[in-house]
Amino acid sequence: NAGVTQTPKFRILKIGQSMTLQCTQDMNHNYMYWYRQDPGMGLKLIYYSVGAGITDKGEVPNGYNVSRSTTEDFPLRLELAAPSQTSVYFCASRDRDRRVWFFGPGTRLTVL
Amino acid sequence: AQKITQTQPGMFVQEKEAVTLDCTYDTSDPSYGLFWYKQPSSGEMIFLIYQGSYDQQNATEGRYSLNFQKARKSANLVISASQLGDSAMYFCAMTHHFGNEKLTFGTGTRLTIIP
């Protein structure tokens, strides 16, 4: 199993540009999550999904959109990038056992 | 709402000493789980230890132990015999076992081990 994979690893965007952060897991997990981590801070939940076709907002959803058309993929869309979205983005997944969470390696995004 | 508080932004500890990282939490739910994660400078999130709210004994994983004091709502991480490789950010996190599907993180403690 590859676990949770994220692409790209790094990206620099200009203000107003759009991009999609990709997240894929090969463990057949129903639950998937997007977090952002600002410098020196903890992780904050952006969006999450409890299964294909079901998504919900987390703590900091503004400026982002998600979709979940398959169990494996949970892409995060930034429509109009702003400097405040400069952060490291982590995707995570888990199965029904809430004790075991899998995190991707993160995507470092800079908006200039 | 669930909340995690880590009051130590940074700590410096001599190599081979034990270190305790503080974590307090706030929840009205009786069933929950507490986690500690390590984040080295490379950035990945590494799971260290888990404690369930109904677990009778404090969790241990090698050099890591979790000092769980339910009445005080604290879940401190204890690292015995610290090593240089323990230098990293450490995050406490919590999830509930029913309903709420999320993992909520504290702001972290940066631990630096001094040789």
Question: Is the predicted pLDDT of residue A2 greater than 90, yes or no?
Answer: no
Looking at chain A, the whole-number percentage of residues with pLDDT higher than 70 is 100
Q: What distance in Å separates the CA atoms of residue B93 and residue B108, rounded to the nearest whole number?
A: 10
B93: Cα separation from own chain's centroid: 7
Contact A41 B50 (CB under 8 A): no
Residues in chain A within 8 Å Cβ distance of B110: 40
pLDDT at B14: 97
Q: What distance in Å separates the CA atoms of residue B92 and residue B76, rounded to the nearest whole number?
A: 9
In the block, tokens 């995570």 appear at A92
Question: Is the predicted pLDDT of residue A95 greater than 90, yes or no?
Answer: no
Q: Provide the token pair at B75.
A: 């879940």
Condensed to tens digits (0 to 9), the pLDDT of residues A45-71 reads: 999 999 999 999 999 999 999 999 999
- Least confident stretch, A72-81, B17-26, B58-67, B100-109: B100-109
Which residues sit opposite B26 in a β-bridge? B3
Residues in chain A within 8 Å Cβ distance of B107: 41-42
Cα nearest neighbour of B90 on chain A: A42
Cα nearest neighbour of B2 on chain A: A59
Condensed to tens digits (0 to 9), the pLDDT of residues B31-85 reads: 899 999 999 999 999 999 999 999 989 999 999 999 999 999 999 999 999 999 9
CA count, 13 A, side-chain hemisphere, B44: 11
